[in-house]
Structure 1
């Protein structure tokens, strides 16, 4: 499983979108997927933070 991208990158991407730049141009400039830009922007609006959610977890024994 891959690790989440850095918080610094996420904040710069979202700041560019909030400044009025399109998601596609921001994604191209920072080298990330358009879907990531959209999801990070949605997370910023919903929670006020762009920090990644919890990954993985513990599996219950069968």
Structure 2
């Protein structure tokens, strides 16, 4: 559990550092804010899936220890 929490916190901080410039790049590339909700939703979905995958891996690791 501690490993999963640590990785989630690191991912969160990485998102705080890289999110605004990446979103600005997306908005500039598409010429407006219409792509922003799709980009943010995709990032949120990816983060959720990664968190769930880490939780599953952590549970599997605990079974073998």
TM-score over 0.5 (shorter chain): no
Of structures 1 and 2, the one with the larger relative CO (CA 8 A, separation 6+) is 2
Larger % of helix: which? 2
Greater gyration radius = 2
